[in-house]
Amino acid sequence: MLDQLLTKAENSGNLGLEEIEQLLNLENQSDIDRLLACAYRVKTRYVGRTAWFRGIIEFSNICAKDCYYCGIRRSNSKMQRFTIPEKDIVESAVWAWKADYGSVVLQSGERSDPEYINMVERLLKEIKKRTNGELGITLSLGEQSEETYRRWFDTGAHRYLLRIETSNKELYAKLHPRDHSFENRVDCLHRLRKVGYQVGTGVMIGLPMQTARHLAEDLMFFKSLDIDMIGMGPYIYHSDTPLASYRAEWEIPHKTLLNLGLKMIALARILMRDINIAATTALQALEHDGREQGLLAGANVIMPNATDTQYRENYQLYENKPCTDENATMCRGCLQRRIEGIGEQIGFGKWGDSPHFASRTNKAIV
């Protein structure tokens, strides 16, 4: 039974909702390992065994939104707020360029006031200038108007990550206050594509009230949007948030949650063969080599932290975020050793664009 399903998964990648759900529900470790190995073969065939690096710079924890799961939500008054001075953000980006990372991700809490929009534009200009236009820039700055997305695109950003968080409207409504609109988030994904970005989305895995069926539908949602990149990871509780009250009833043991995250990565690779998939830091929060396990389950992107260490402590979206006291150079060294240790190579010095984007737009990969 499993044999047949895995053969179909590997050969065609065309799985139905129920088949996906069935694979997500695998519990036996040797069965799970077979699914992950199947996805790794698909990955090797379609995108090779190169892990692309994006240095992530988490430059501000000021956020206008109030998502119930997130440690830096507006209403968390215990959080000390910061925005890194512009020149230091630029320095981090230049550091990543010199370290041959090829590209960076700029991420922050969500703001859409004109000062913020202008600041991001200035940052993009300056980073492009200081790195001879060589450093690729991905943004992860939440929901914005089409005009804002366009301005940032025209200034040099070329990829954008906006997780849908869950593709189930009812579940979305339970995780957010009333004025956070699911429809607007979906619209934003369309806007980004229209403007010309490589578009990435994703979900949190293991949320309270979330079922295997929801996760299977999430994967179908990504496929139906013809998405270029996926960044998804385990949901991890943060005590100073409303969702923490679900902990007693819904918290999933670390090993089970890690496996669920890996199964999601594997199925994403099987269903959407040539996209970029990130092994996110939240995997590493569960097990020290969680991200390498992500690569072996089908992911091909890693996002090492390139934020100046002094600012990391207060960018706690969830508890026990790893590497907060390691400097960026140490992160680079330890990651390189670990990745080479699993027989993969690091794609230094290139943007590592989504092959899927290249094929849907007939553009050469940079």
* Contacting residues toward ligand SAH, per CB under 6 A: 69-70, 107, 109-110, 140, 142, 162-163, 165, 204, 235-236, 238, 282, 317-318
Question: Is residue 63 at the binding interface for ligand SF4, with CB under 6 A as the rule?
Answer: yes
Give the number of C-alpha atoms closer than 13 A to the C-alpha of residue 244, restricted to the C-beta side. Answer: 12
Interface with ligand SF4 in residues 297-336 (CB under 6 A): 317
CB count, 10 Å around CB of 158?
18
Question: Is residue 109 at the binding interface for ligand SF4, with CB under 6 A as the rule?
Answer: yes
Quick one: CA dihedral 279, 281, 286, 291, positive or negative? Answer: positive
Candidates 55, 102, 136, 142; binder of ligand SF4 (CB under 6 A) is: 142
364 alpha-carbon distance from chain centroid: 23
The nearest distance, CB 63 to ligand SF4, in angstroms, is 3
The nearest distance, CB 106 to ligand SAH, in angstroms, is 10
Residue closer to ligand SAH (CB basis): 6 or 219 = 219
Question: Is residue 58 at the binding interface for ligand SF4, with CB under 6 A as the rule?
Answer: no
Quick one: tokens of 202? 């994703």
Instruction: List the single partner that 235 binds among ligand SAH, ligand SF4, none, CB under 5 to 8 Å by kind.
Output: ligand SAH
The nearest distance, CB 203 to ligand SAH, in angstroms, is 7
Quick one: CA dihedral 97, 102, 108, 114, positive or negative? Answer: positive
The nearest distance, CB 317 to ligand SF4, in angstroms, is 6
Q: What are the backbone angles phi and psi of residue 277, rounded to the nearest 5°?
A: -130, 130
- Alpha carbon distances (Å) from 63 to 79, 110, 192, 207, 361: 11, 5, 21, 21, 34
Quick one: tokens of 352? 């590592």
Instruction: List the single partner that 290 binds among ligand SAH, ligand SF4, none, CB under 5 to 8 Å by kind.
Output: none
Give the number of C-alpha atoms closer than 13 A to the C-alpha of residue 4, restricted to the C-beta side. Answer: 3
Residues 6 or more apart in contact with residue 363 via CB below 8 angstroms: 357
Gap between the Cα atoms of 251 and 93, Å rounded: 37
The nearest distance, CB 218 to ligand SF4, in angstroms, is 17
Residues 6 or more apart in contact with residue 251 via CB below 8 angstroms: 237
The nearest distance, CB 123 to ligand SAH, in angstroms, is 15
Residue closer to ligand SF4 (CB basis): 42 or 63 = 63
Interface region with ligand SF4, contact rule CB under 6 A, candidates 20-28, 41-49, 67-75, 261-269: 67-75
**Contacts with ligand SF4, residue ranges (CB under 6 A):** 63, 65, 67, 70, 72-73, 109-110, 142, 317
